[in-house]
Amino acid sequence: MASTKKNTLRDIWNTKIRDTDFVHSFFVHEKTIYQKLFSQKTQKMSGRLSELAESFGVSNEVFFGFLLGIQSFVKQDFENLRHRDRVNIDIDLHELHEYLNQNPSYAHLLEFEVRSSTDKEQEEALDMSLIPIGMVRSKWRVDSIVNNIQANYGADYYQTLMYAAPHFGLQIVLFTYDDIDFEGNKVSGTIVHNGKVGKCVIDIPSVVDCKAIRKDALKKLDSLTYLTRHSLLTSKQKIYELLLEDGRFSDILIPTKIIESFDDIIAAADTEAVVIKAARGGKGKSVRSISRVHDGYNLIEGQSHSRLTYAELLEYFDKNIKGKNFVLQPFIDSTSINGEPFDIRISARRGEGGKFSFTPYVRIGNPKGIISNLAGGGYSLQADVFLRKNFDSDTQNEIKQQLNLLGEEFPEYFASLFDTEIFDVGLDLGITQKNGRFKLWLFEADTDIGGDGTLVHGLEQTVTHCQYYRHLANKLGLIKQKQTT
């Protein structure tokens, strides 16, 4: 299929990926290829490489990079392709989506071989031309990232971020809270440089991306450096009240109240099905639904269904809800044509220039349950693919328009409600249909959101993440400082 002569696309690719601008554009254009693949339900690609690249509206080099990314999936070797060589690929889109979620790999963007380094190499590993960006995570997360890199597994979001950062003039320094020497103003961190896992001891970086550390530790670190994330430390009810009082987005709010007594649940459930969930956090694990049936109450918790009498429900309340911080909402029947619960997550993060960039995607749960988030065993799908399957074309367009409007306006508006700068905002939206019309409902809005990158949006958000780091480095004068040293 391919020639082994010099000047193959691989030779050109190896030169191109040294160019930061090319790497930036590749992230965006590779996502475009995937979007067209899934939206057009393309099952077969056949033709000269240059023709296929043109059909997707990308350059030959970008399309070649895309092929490198899927060559292990299609079990073909594209290493020696040239511009005029033919490509013939049969693709099962469902299998491709599963493969991409389970085996995200961005090794085609890297020239280095991943391996462990010697102690001497570790000491020399830090590239002094790069601006260090701290990333503090739990010990479990740090160990997992390092182990995956050393084992040469497919890169997850964190690994990809560490690989991509040097193209933006940055060096990610990964560490735990216990790696910080506050008295000496130092951190002992892990980095990836030229494909090698290395150790470095540096001053506490001027910018630190913090997640999953204690509140007291967060406060201490905040006094020494610029933190990219600040948890709101507020409840769902407080956020609901803020949004309701302001009124700008009141049309999508779900009526919400704090549960003060068993009578609150009974009064609501006797009228309509209700949802009970933790007022703060929970990742969907605390969500349960209660509805009235002729001889009692139906309780859904996870994927478990129970029929309870009034007395049994009271006993359940006393054991699981009473004295705890829970809220009550009417049940919103946001289900697919297959009866699966779903929500649409608009994931917004600050990127270039400190502006929010957003990506919508759909989370789909088990039809036996009522929640759709990934922590509850669900899976994710591109919004376009899901909407096409579940709504007619006019409704699809209307939903997309409303999602785009929310993505453009809500994150900055939401951030303005609080005194601290917010890095990311997540909106969880449901859709109901009645009399041929749809309605969006806001299940939840929060910051410090989870899911640092399912593959549905991982490439674009990796770029966004690095752009925001570089924006902060410029804002704090670190780039100018580096240029003068």
Q: Which of 109-113, 142-146, 372-376 has the lowest mean pLDDT?
A: 109-113
More confidently predicted of 202 and 213: 202
Q: Which of 93-102, 154-163, 217-226, 236-245 has the lowest mean pLDDT?
A: 93-102
SS3 state of residue 406 = helix
Spell out the domains of the chain, with CATH numbers in brackets.
Answer: 9-103 (1.10.10), 115-229+468-483 (3.40.50), 236-251+335-447 (3.30.470), 256-326 (no CATH)
CA dihedral 115, 119, 124, 130 (to 10 degrees): 50
How would you classify the pairing of strands 170-175 and 131-136? parallel
More confidently predicted of 155 and 340: 340
> How far is it, in rounded angstroms, from Cα 369 to Cα 367?
5
Is the pLDDT confidence value at 126 over 70?
A: no
- Is the CB of residue 69 less than 8 Å from the CB of residue 415? no
The residues facing 44 across adjacent strands are 90
> Average pLDDT, stretch 261-275?
92
pLDDT tier at 4, thresholds 50, 70, 90: very low
What is the residue-wise DSSP string for 325-345?
-EEEEEPP--B-TTS-BEEEE
Q: What does the pLDDT read at residue 123? A: 44
pLDDT tier at 150, thresholds 50, 70, 90: low
More confidently predicted of 469 and 102: 469
- Is the CB of residue 290 less than 8 Å from the CB of residue 276? yes
Is the pLDDT confidence value at 170 over 80?
A: yes
Q: What does the pLDDT read at residue 112? A: 35
Task: Tell me the per-residue pLDDT of 307-362, one tens digit each, with 9 for 90 and over.
Answer: 999 999 999 999 999 988 899 999 999 999 988 889 999 989 999 999 999 989 89
Q: Write down the pTM of the prediction.
A: 0.72
> How far is it, in rounded angstroms, from Cα 480 to Cα 485?
9
